[in-house]
């Protein structure tokens, strides 16, 4: 009897323990902040979870050091860590196993991540006692993204989810590697194949993606649906809109509650300027409940972009917030939210959103440029004297624009260069609905800052231009008129105006930038460049800056006179106002006498008689060392800027 009672009591205690574990597990929910803790590894080093707040992803893997099935997923993660050493994939193995068992596991596996010894309280916090492995994936600010318990099939599910999360972070190589790990063990895992297919799309490998999705679509049920969804995305990226729409329609009929087909249709319809139909499809993409997280977040973002373009900023922000809630790595939606505040002049809110985007992806050019602009606007708001100066200037410029007066009268000195002033007007955005808002702002702001930093060109302050456009009530449609843009450039005393278009295509954005001479209306340069809003954008803009500078120096070289001269040094009537910087080189020239030929006077090419290089520059004058000379240099000798390979 006592034995039966003891067995009953033991079972009761076990049931209570399991129930307690389930109760604790119910508290580990996505969206919550992970319980904090501090543990030591086998070497005695302390690892505190609070120090991981700024990491994009942390994986807590609770396991049994004596159980191989419990370690399966952990060893897969270790292989990934060893293969992708540069990726921010933080893994902590946590075990309640004894020191001897743990030491044996570490010795045999030699993991690149720490294995932490848990006396039991941390495992209790995460309900990781009775079911192992237990895996908790943490996102930004240590928010719980995913929670898994059990090995075998659950480990497979965990790895697929991790592949999805790395895909959201744009770590496409890692996402594909994780997917391959799953596929190798289970060739029938269509979710893993699907993630790999979308990773190929993000990398622009459309042929590979098409092959993957065609393979997936040959299955029945979910496989056919996921495969055809992917194929519709591939054909949309290829620009084969008819085929993409046809397949999207098939998916809609097979799975009416899935959202992604509606997103594909919405993007295509928008690019065809069928805004009403596009709005309907975006609405369906948002309202449908079925779909992958990385698809739903994009649908919410695109719907937000659509509403933001309509001036419905509150509605757009609500959609962006929903996208960020399900995908905390969605830097595009986060910075897009900032743009809605910027368009309303709410710079503090805008800056907060841009900084949040920067915390998600420190390499994101969009967030960095927009944050810097917001900081400058906030500083301007606090500078009463600067605001008053800009207000006065804008009123004066607006009056000149209305009266069509130019900034300054013609100078009697037609040789000496005036300051090279350039202004950008917003590039007109055409084509599809880009995932990023503020494309034009980022490009013109970044180019303006880089050109200003060169010292060779002065770009009109964006704050002045924006306020002038507001004062004149000139919108984007009016700026599309070349005559209006030229009038603006002349009023701003700009020699060159930069304008053009951004054509958003399915797989990239094509920029056409025209530099227009405001005095002659000639176009000295047209730059056509394919842009990627990702990591390569900063490098692309750096190249564009060099191309613009090269054009300016070739087409509008600095010209001036020698004011004073010695054997080794000369003074010029050009300074930093005109764009002279240390290292600028000039040729000293002599104009040749005209030659009369058959009744016509022909002007010969100027003859180079020396070369000089600037060693110091002040606002209105500069000093140069003499590099070579064919004769003694003297006052009133003419100089012209020399192109150097330094650009």
Nearest to residue 21, comparing CAs of 136, 129, 158?
129
- Whether pLDDT at 7 is above 70: no
pLDDT value, residue 575: 95
Structure tokens that stand for 362 in this block: 């420190």
Tokens 């240390």 belong to which residue? 582
Tell me the pLDDT band of 152, cut-offs 50, 70 and 90.
confident
pLDDT value, residue 641: 94
Looking at the fold, whether 550 and 627 belong to one and the same domain comes out as no
311 three-state secondary structure:
coil
Residue 5 lies in a domain: no
Mean pLDDT of 192-216: 96
Looking at the fold, whether 509 and 536 belong to one and the same domain comes out as yes
pLDDT value, residue 411: 64
Kind of pairing between the strands at 90-95 and 58-62: parallel
- The residues, any chain, with a CB within 8 Å of residue 623's CB and separated by 6 or more, are 569, 570, 571, 572, 614, 615, 616, 617
Mean pLDDT of 264-293: 95
The string of pLDDT tens digits covering residues 501-550 is 999 998 889 999 999 998 888 999 999 999 877 667 888 899 999 999 99
Looking at the fold, whether 83 and 139 belong to one and the same domain comes out as yes
- The residues, any chain, with a CB within 8 Å of residue 403's CB and separated by 6 or more, are none
| % the chain with pLDDT above 90 | 70
User: What are residue 192's phi and psi, to 5 degrees?
Assistant: -65, -40
- Whether pLDDT at 25 is above 70: no
Looking at the fold, whether 426 and 551 belong to one and the same domain comes out as yes
CATH number for position 627:
2.40.10.410
Give the chain's domain count.
3
Looking at the fold, whether 448 and 575 belong to one and the same domain comes out as no
Looking at the fold, whether 536 and 582 belong to one and the same domain comes out as no
Structure tokens that stand for 305 in this block: 């972009």
Residue after which a domain boundary falls, among 131, 151, 171: 151
Instruction: List Cα–Cα distances, 401 to 397, 488, 521, in angstroms.
Output: 6, 7, 17
Nearest to residue 57, comparing CAs of 1, 3, 138?
138
Residue 264 lies in a domain: no
42 three-state secondary structure:
coil
Residue 433 lies in a domain: yes
The string of pLDDT tens digits covering residues 417-447 is 999 999 998 889 999 999 999 999 999 999 9
Which DSSP string do the residues of 230-243 spell out, in sequence order? HHHHHHHHHT-HHH
Residue after which a domain boundary falls, among 532, 555, 578: 555
Looking at the fold, whether 521 and 593 belong to one and the same domain comes out as no
Helix H, strand E, coil C: the string for 462-501 is: HHHHHHHHHHHCCCHHHHCCHHHHHHHHHHCCCCEEEEEE
Looking at the fold, whether 615 and 492 belong to one and the same domain comes out as no
User: 505: how many CB neighbours lie within 10 A of its CB?
Assistant: 15
The string of pLDDT tens digits covering residues 578-607 is 999 999 999 999 988 888 888 788 877 899
pLDDT value, residue 387: 84
| CA 217 – CA 214 distance, rounded (Å) | 5
- Whether pLDDT at 52 is above 80: yes
Tokens 């000093």 belong to which residue? 623
- The residues, any chain, with a CB within 8 Å of residue 108's CB and separated by 6 or more, are none
Exposure string (b/e) for 287-297, b if CB count within 10 Å is 16 or more?
ebeebbbbbbb
pLDDT value, residue 5: 45
Kind of pairing between the strands at 622-629 and 569-572: antiparallel
Nearest to residue 188, comparing CAs of 214, 157, 212, 223?
223
| CA 271 – CA 259 distance, rounded (Å) | 19
Instruction: Of 84-98, 180-194, 282-296, 317-331, give the lowest mean pLDDT range.
Output: 84-98
Looking at the fold, whether 564 and 628 belong to one and the same domain comes out as yes
Name the β-bridge partners of 489: none
pLDDT value, residue 12: 38
pLDDT value, residue 406: 53
Strands, DSSP E only, in 432-579? 458-459, 496-504, 509-517, 525-531, 559-565, 569-572
CATH number for position 88:
3.40.30.10
Residue 107 lies in a domain: yes
Q: Tell the burial category of 352 from Cβ atoms under 10 Å away from its Cβ (0-12, 13-18, 19+).
A: middle
| Planar angle of CA 185, 187, 191, nearest 5 degrees | 100
Q: pTM of the prediction?
A: 0.86
Looking at the fold, whether 540 and 479 belong to one and the same domain comes out as yes
Mean pLDDT of 226-242: 96
Mean pLDDT of 174-201: 95
More confident residue, 276 or 294: 276
Nearest to residue 58, comparing CAs of 95, 33, 29?
33
Residue 577 lies in a domain: yes
User: 6: how many CB neighbours lie within 10 A of its CB?
Assistant: 10
pLDDT value, residue 405: 56
- Whether pLDDT at 1 is above 70: no
Q: Residue 603 belongs to what domain range?
A: 559-641
Residue 317 lies in a domain: no
Residue after which a domain boundary falls, among 526, 555, 584: 555
More confident residue, 486 or 71: 71
Instruction: List Cα–Cα distances, 533 to 443, 507, 548, in angstroms.
Output: 10, 11, 20
Name the β-bridge partners of 564: 571
Residue 402 lies in a domain: no
pLDDT value, residue 20: 39
Residue 434 lies in a domain: yes
What mean pLDDT, rounded, does the chain reach?
Answer: 89
- Whether pLDDT at 26 is above 50: no
Looking at the fold, whether 520 and 483 belong to one and the same domain comes out as yes
pLDDT value, residue 643: 82
Phi-psi sector, 411: left (phi>0), alpha (psi -120 to 50), beta: beta
User: What are residue 417's phi and psi, to 5 degrees?
Assistant: -70, 140
Looking at the fold, whether 55 and 137 belong to one and the same domain comes out as yes
CATH number for position 434:
3.40.50.10070
């Amino acid at each position: 009897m006592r034995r039966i009672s003891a067995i009953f009591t033991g079972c009761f205690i076990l049931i209570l323990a399991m129930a307690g574990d389930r109760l604790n597990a119910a508290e580990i929910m996505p969206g919550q902040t992970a319980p904090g803790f501090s543990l030591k590894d086998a070497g005695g080093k302390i690892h505190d979870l609070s120090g991981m707040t700024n990491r994009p992803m942390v994986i807590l893997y609770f396991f049994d050091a004596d159980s191989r099935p419990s370690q399966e997923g952990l060893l897969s993660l270790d292989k990934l860590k060893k293969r992708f050493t540069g990726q921010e994939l933080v893994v902590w193995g946590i075990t309640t196993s004894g020191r001897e068992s743990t030491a044996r596991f570490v010795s045999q596996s030699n993991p690149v991540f720490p294995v932490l010894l848990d006396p039991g309280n941390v495992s209790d916090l995460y309900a990781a006692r009775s079911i192992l492995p237990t895996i908790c994936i943490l996102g930004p600010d240590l928010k719980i993204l995913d929670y898994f318990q059990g090995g075998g099939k659950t480990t497979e599910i965990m790895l697929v989810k991790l592949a999805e999360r790395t895909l959201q972070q744009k770590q496409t190589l890692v996402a594909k590697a994780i997917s391959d790990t799953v596929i190798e063990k289970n060739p029938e895992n269509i979710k893993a194949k699907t993630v790999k297919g979308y990773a190929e799309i993000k990398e622009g490998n459309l042929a590979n993606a098409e092959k993957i999705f065609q393979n997936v679509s040959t299955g029945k049920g979910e496989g056919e649906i996921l495969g055809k969804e992917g194929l519709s995305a591939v054909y949309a990226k290829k620009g084969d809109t008819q085929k993409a729409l046809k397949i999207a329609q098939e998916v809609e009929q097979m799975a009416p509650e899935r959202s992604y087909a509606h997103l594909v249709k919405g993007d295509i319809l928008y690019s065809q300027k069928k805004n009403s139909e596009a709005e309907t499809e975006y609405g369906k993409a948002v309202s449908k409940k079925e779909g992958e997280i990385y698809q739903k977040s994009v649908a919410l973002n695109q719907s937000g972009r659509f509403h933001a373009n309509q001036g419905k900023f509150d509605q757009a922000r609500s959609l962006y917030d929903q996208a960020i809630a399900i995908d905390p790595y969605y830097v595009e939606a986060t910075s897009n939210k900032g743009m809605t505040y910027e368009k309303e002049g709410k710079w503090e809110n805008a800056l907060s959103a841009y900084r949040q985007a920067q915390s998600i992806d420190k390499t994101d050019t969009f967030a960095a440029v927009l944050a810097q602009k917001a900081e400058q606007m906030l500083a301007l708001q606090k500078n009463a004297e600067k605001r008053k100066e800009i207000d006065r200037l804008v009123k004066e410029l607006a009056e000149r624009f209305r009266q069509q007066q130019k900034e300054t009268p013609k100078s009697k000195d037609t040789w000496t260069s005036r300051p090279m002033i350039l202004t950008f007007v917003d590039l007109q955005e055409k084509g599809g609905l880009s995932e990023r808002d503020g494309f034009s702002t980022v490009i013109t702001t970044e180019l303006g800052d880089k050109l200003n930093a060169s010292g060779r060109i002065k770009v009109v302050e964006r704050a002045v231009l924006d306020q002038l456009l507001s004062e004149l009530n000139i919108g984007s449609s009016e700026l599309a008129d070349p005559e209006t843009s030229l009038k603006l450039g002349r009023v701003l005393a700009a020699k060159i105006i930069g304008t053009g278009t951004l054509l958003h295509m399915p797989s990239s954005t094509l920029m056409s930038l025209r530099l227009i001479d405001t005095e002659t209306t000639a176009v000295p340069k047209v730059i056509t460049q394919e842009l990627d809003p990702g990591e390569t954008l900063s490098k692309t803009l750096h190249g564009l800056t060099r191309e613009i500078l090269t054009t300016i120096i070739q087409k509008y070289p600095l010209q001036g006179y020698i004011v004073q001269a010695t054997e080794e040094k000369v003074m010029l009537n050009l300074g930093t106002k005109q764009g002279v910087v240390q290292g600028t080189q000039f040729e000293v020239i002599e104009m040749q006498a005209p030659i009369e030929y058959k009744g016509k006077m022909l002007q010969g090419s100027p003859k180079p008689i020396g070369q000089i290089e600037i060693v110091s520059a002040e606002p209105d004058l500069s000093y140069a060392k003499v590099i070579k000379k064919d004769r003694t240099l003297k006052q009133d000798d003419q100089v012209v800027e020399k192109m150097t390979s330094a650009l």
